[in-house]
Amino acid sequence: MTFDSFFAAQSFFLWSTFIIALVMGMVVNKTNFCTMGAVSDLVNMGDTGRMRAWVLAGTVAMLGVVILEAAGLVNLNNATLPPYRGSEFQWGRYLLGGIMFGVGMTLASGCGNKTLIRIGGGNIKSIFVFIIIAVIAYYMVDPYKQLSATWYQSVFAPWLGKASISLSTNQDLGSIVGNLIGVSAVSTRVALGLLIAAVALFLIFRSEEFRKSSDNVLAGVVVGCAVLLAWYFTSAVSITGDEGAQSLGKFYGNWDFVMDSAEGKPQNGSTNLLPQSFTFISPIGQTLGYAKSGFAGTFLTFGVVSVLGVILGSLLWSLITRSFRIEWFASVKDFTTHVIGGVLMGFGGVLGLGCTVGQAITGVSTLALGSFVVFIGIVFGSALTMKIQYYKLVYEDDATFGKALVTSLVDMKLLPGSLRKLDAV
């Protein structure tokens, strides 16, 4: 997809993102695709339907990515928003961020994507969560490079940066395994991707109940395809130049040489115009920056239009099905819980370099090792929080936080049974 001008290429870049996000918002609302709900169904009822849909989305995206990379249609080694395949395996922030995010999304009634879906459905509570995430993500990331230092650089990097391992290759499984066996990373990604996808699809569809659930299958396929299409479109858009077709990012780097003025020059385009796909915590922060700019067109990014697209898609589906409902906080405790959840999601999503979609689907599609760590951390944090909440609900005043925590860890086989403080329920 080659265009004659930068602005035509950028317009396609943004509009294609918006349309994909719009469709994803409608389908996620229709099918009730929810990553927190997936963990809740599994922990509380033993129902694996939505968890299978979540894994299916990641599998579809991963399978598509390895095929497109093998065909030379995308190259995700240069994707730095976030740097999924970076050679720094930042295990500390992956694990801490994932757990924090998992706890936060449980307290706030949904992940970043679900927050947008709920806003589109009329949930006022999610607007408060959105604002909290936006402020934290903006000052943690500085998406438009306007701050002297980010909160991450000032508060977290001095100690959390030490929990990192420098690899001799990129951290995706294809690069790591390929380096060990002496085979190219691309070939190894294809082999591993096909193998993992085959095993995953078998495990997903072995459930007859899941096969009969059209909503869960639809959600998994559409969300996975949305992530894949975003990778493709943001990688394939280019501009005709004297030296042949140039990517948006490369053209932006030569802006001062090929453009007459800085008018219309995107803010921080060296990062924001690179190949990328869906994630929702940093983009919510970008949305705050877009609003702070007075909604200037130069602040429009993939992230901003993806946020707006998902919200509008959810709103459209809510209006079509007449399911739009205004929902407010039930109590002061409900308000406090959502605030804490929003804070944990904001910090956790940035520390973990992504959310349930950004890491567990988009990141996994790149076969990045860190994305699998974040995925595990999110599920663990969410499941542990749900168990603690359940024990405190059943035993009320008898279940202190400490007793509920220890008992929950015993249930999860992480502590010996002799330490159990409350009878199993």
Judged against a pLDDT cut of 80, whether residue 242 lies above it is answered with no
For residues 224 and 218, give the distance between their C-alpha atoms in angstroms, rounded to a whole number: 10
Q: What is the pLDDT of residue 270?
A: 86
Full-model pTM: 0.94
Q: What is the pLDDT of residue 217?
A: 97
Phi and psi for 57 in degrees, rounded to 5? -60, -45
Q: What is the DSSP letter of 123?
A: B
Do 56 and 224 meet the contact criterion of CB atoms below 8 Å apart?
yes
Residue spans per domain, the chain: 2-419
The residue among 222, 228, 225, 218 whose CA lies nearest residue 49 is: 218
Q: How many residues does the chain have?
A: 425
Among the residue ranges 3-17, 70-84, 163-177, 282-296, the one predicted with the least confidence is: 70-84
Judged against a pLDDT cut of 90, whether residue 415 lies above it is answered with yes
Q: CA 275 → CA 66, 75, 82, distances in Å?
A: 15, 8, 10
**pLDDT tens per residue across span 49-89:** 999 999 999 999 999 999 999 998 998 987 878 899 999 99
Q: What is the pLDDT of residue 78?
A: 78
Q: CA 304 → CA 15, 134, 267, 296, 368, distances in Å?
A: 11, 11, 13, 12, 24
Judged against a pLDDT cut of 80, whether residue 109 lies above it is answered with yes
Judged against a pLDDT cut of 80, whether residue 244 lies above it is answered with no
| Per-residue burial over 6-26, b = 16 or more CB atoms within 10 Å of its CB, e = otherwise | beebbebbbebbbebbbbbbb
User: What pLDDT band is residue 26 in, cutting at 50, 70 and 90?
Assistant: very high
For residues 375 and 50, give the distance between their C-alpha atoms in angstroms, rounded to a whole number: 15
